[in-house]
Chain A
């Protein structure tokens, strides 16, 4: 092999190593940021205590096969409280078609949640995010926030802000399991 060829190989190898390291660093850096929650991404699993049925828990993973609405709310959030009756109204119709609602309260005080829940006679599962970890992972900063999750566990839609009765029904249609 002549020297020129050797030199070209040496330079190419050095450059490839350097570029490779750079690409590796960039990939690691990109991945270090939390994966964005968006349509098509698998919704992070969580397990929370139910407030409406004491002693029971609810785990997102176990709701596979059903369309799930995860709703973050708090008793001090007025728009959150306004959409609760819509959710309950539709829940009655869609429950049997395979739609589940998980209301995740970020309140610190449980009795206030129960109080509100009972006063409206709500029927969908009510949970509390005591460690504030679910809210954190779901990147919820402003309330309300709703995640509509397909039967296969992927996110179909994220609504940051209140929903109306009509829009909610549309979102339920999107995540409705196919009838077998």
Chain B
């Protein structure tokens, strides 16, 4: 229809699609089906009977999209779907936390079987960064924004345009009513006083009385949505490294590692890793409790770390020039904080690697001397001057494993070192080969003369540190704060209105509250007190 407005009998021009006249509240006849008012006596007061645009114009493509996102039903579906997917993504660890050298295509199936394979094939192993998950969350945002615009605008219009004098039909079809009251001048004055006492704003026009309070409660949901949108914006900011970093790095004792996420600007050195357990001997108050546990109870995981900053911009692979930034002891929940970054203690491989292995050589109970194999820096040859003995390292397997092709190493970390070495000495008839394995030295020849034993091993720990930086937290806080204000505003205050409508010498009274009808009835008893107003009737309960 081309005409833009509908003229009510009170003279107000309403937008097309209006259900109840904005000014006098009279139902606009041909639109009653929209809110289902043609089916029931009590009027549907949703959005004040204003014209929800999306429900009215569905002509162009844009209008159809608009109508789709404006729908609460669609919004709820989007939220439910996001909830379900978010939950599914937590069944198995996400790819970045799988903590395994295996590629994802193998890892999930091997570790979790068929369900793991499905998890991987559906792409759930990388869910929260996946394009479809982002789209899902974004659609919720779109839904929130469009449905808010689509409801706020007409609601505001309707509440702004309402008149003190309402149509009789509107008043009589409210949920809580009191009809045909014989009220004296005194009664009316008492009513007004009582209303004001209950903090109503009382308006009068030609004997019609309209009392209203707490209209701002109606804006609660929209304030709440603004909060949500700020939270969504904050989560977009999280995608940028400038704003947010959450990463992980392993640092071995004595090692300097680039801190991930800092673009190789910051480096961390693990000076010492400290692992302490509760001691039943020295801490008597725990003695009794510790009797019941088999394994030692950890007391402290601590990394003594030094933080460095690169003073130059090295090419990939080049050793940067470092300057010390800070030093600190990182304990559980006690991070080292520097330049907006925090390093948290969050993983350990206690004494999992060999730092060095010392061995002694003997021939016929006579010592040829000893040497220390430093796993990271050992030379390929050791000379024992006292006996003119040379030890040549033939093979070095940091993490020994036996494969079809013979001995091999699983990684470069000396977790299970294997050393094959040759000893040549004037005291020996010929060179002899040995195999160091699991703190034992095995001769590789049958008739060896020399005897090699392990005299000492030095182990080291690896410390897992979480790198965090989050500049989005204040924005999340702001969003959450606004969200809470919206919730409070909408939940703890009620928008209440009372219309007193004179008709042929008596008065009809209609009452509306947006929630808490029980409280409304109690308030009405106080308002009615000392007047001739008949008890109010809930027309909905009567049915």
Contact assessment for B62 and A29 in the assembled complex, using a CB-CB cutoff below 8 Å = no
B519, CB-defined interface residue at 8 Å: no
Known: A108-B398, A111-B379. Is A32-B57 also a contact (CB below 8 A)?
no
Of B31-39, B172-180, B312-320, B333-341, the segment with at least 4 beta carbons within 8 Å of chain A is B312-320
CA distance A22 to B145 in the complex (A): 13
Count chain B CB atoms within 10 A of each CB in A11, A15, A106, A134 and give the residue with the most: A11
**What is the minimal beta-carbon distance from B46 to any residue of chain A, in angstroms?**
22
B357, CB-defined interface residue at 8 Å: no
Contact assessment for B408 and A78 in the assembled complex, using a CB-CB cutoff below 8 Å = yes
B474, CB-defined interface residue at 8 Å: no
Contact assessment for A7 and B53 in the assembled complex, using a CB-CB cutoff below 8 Å = yes
Known: A112-B396, A129-B317. Is A15-B65 also a contact (CB below 8 A)?
yes
Known: A109-B375, A111-B380. Is A76-B398 also a contact (CB below 8 A)?
yes
B4, CB-defined interface residue at 8 Å: yes
Of B20-28, B73-81, B128-136, B291-299, the segment with at least 4 beta carbons within 8 Å of chain A is B128-136
A110, CB-defined interface residue at 8 Å: yes
Contact assessment for B315 and A59 in the assembled complex, using a CB-CB cutoff below 8 Å = yes
A120, CB-defined interface residue at 8 Å: no
Of A40-48, A83-91, A93-101, the segment with at least 4 beta carbons within 8 Å of chain B is A40-48
Contact assessment for A133 and B317 in the assembled complex, using a CB-CB cutoff below 8 Å = yes
Known: A15-B62, A29-B129, A109-B396. Is A76-B412 also a contact (CB below 8 A)?
yes
Contact assessment for B377 and A44 in the assembled complex, using a CB-CB cutoff below 8 Å = no
Within 8 A of B (CB), among A1-28: 3-4, 7-8, 11-12, 14-15, 18, 21-22, 25-26, 28
By a CB distance below 8 angstroms, the chain A residues around B62 are: 8, 11-12, 15
**What is the minimal beta-carbon distance from B151 to any residue of chain A, in angstroms?**
14
* Contact among B101, B145, B395, B408 for A14, CB-based, below 8 A: B145
**What is the minimal beta-carbon distance from B449 to any residue of chain A, in angstroms?**
25
Contact assessment for B315 and A46 in the assembled complex, using a CB-CB cutoff below 8 Å = yes
A39, CB-defined interface residue at 8 Å: no
B378, CB-defined interface residue at 8 Å: yes
B142, CB-defined interface residue at 8 Å: yes
B522, CB-defined interface residue at 8 Å: no
CA distance A156 to B399 in the complex (A): 33
CA distance A137 to B408 in the complex (A): 25
Contact assessment for A133 and B396 in the assembled complex, using a CB-CB cutoff below 8 Å = no
Count chain B CB atoms within 10 A of each CB in A22, A48, A75, A76 and give the residue with the most: A76
**What is the minimal beta-carbon distance from B225 to any residue of chain A, in angstroms?**
14
**What is the minimal beta-carbon distance from A20 to any residue of chain B, in angstroms?**
11
Among residues of B, the one whose C-beta sits closest to the C-beta of A61 is B315
* Contact among B129, B316, B405, B406 for A46, CB-based, below 8 A: B316
* Contact among A7, A15, A108, A141 for B101, CB-based, below 8 A: A141
CA distance A46 to B314 in the complex (A): 9
Main DSSP-derived SS at the A contact region: helix
A107, CB-defined interface residue at 8 Å: yes
B60, CB-defined interface residue at 8 Å: yes
Contact assessment for A115 and B412 in the assembled complex, using a CB-CB cutoff below 8 Å = no
CA distance A114 to B379 in the complex (A): 10
Contact assessment for B316 and A137 in the assembled complex, using a CB-CB cutoff below 8 Å = yes
Count chain A CB atoms within 10 A of each CB in B53, B101, B135, B316 and give the residue with the most: B316
B258, CB-defined interface residue at 8 Å: yes
Within 8 A of A (CB), among B503-534: none
By a CB distance below 8 angstroms, the chain B residues around A7 are: 53, 57
Question: What string of 1s and 0s marks CB contacts (under 8 Å) between B45-69 and chain A?
Answer: 0000000010001001011011000
By a CB distance below 8 angstroms, the chain A residues around B316 are: 44-47, 133-134, 137
By a CB distance below 8 angstroms, the chain A residues around B397 are: 76
B376, CB-defined interface residue at 8 Å: yes
* Contact among A15, A22, A30 for B138, CB-based, below 8 A: A22
By a CB distance below 8 angstroms, the chain A residues around B65 are: 15
By a CB distance below 8 angstroms, the chain A residues around B138 are: 18, 21-22, 25
Contact assessment for A11 and B380 in the assembled complex, using a CB-CB cutoff below 8 Å = no
Contact assessment for A26 and B134 in the assembled complex, using a CB-CB cutoff below 8 Å = yes
A159, CB-defined interface residue at 8 Å: no
**What is the minimal beta-carbon distance from A62 to any residue of chain B, in angstroms?**
11
B409, CB-defined interface residue at 8 Å: yes
* Contact among A30, A108, A114 for B380, CB-based, below 8 A: A114
CA distance A36 to B55 in the complex (A): 47
Within 8 A of A (CB), among B126-154: 129, 131, 134-135, 138, 141-142, 145-146, 149
A77, CB-defined interface residue at 8 Å: yes
CA distance A137 to B264 in the complex (A): 12
By a CB distance below 8 angstroms, the chain B residues around A77 are: 408-409
A149, CB-defined interface residue at 8 Å: no
Can you report 10 A-B residue pairs in the complex whose CB atoms are below 8 A from each other?
A: A8-B63, A12-B62, A14-B145, A15-B146, A22-B135, A25-B236, A108-B412, A109-B375, A129-B317, A131-B317
Given A22-B142, A30-B131, A112-B380: 4 more A-B contacts, CB < 8 Å: A12-B62, A49-B319, A76-B398, A115-B393
Residues of chain B whose beta carbon lies under 8 Å from any beta carbon of chain A:
4, 53, 57, 60, 62-63, 65-66, 101, 103, 129, 131, 134-135, 138, 141-142, 145-146, 149, 236, 239-240, 258, 264, 314-319, 375-380, 393, 395-399, 403, 405-406, 408-409, 412
Q: Which 3 pairs from chain A and chain B are nearest by CB?
A: A76-B409, A115-B380, A47-B315
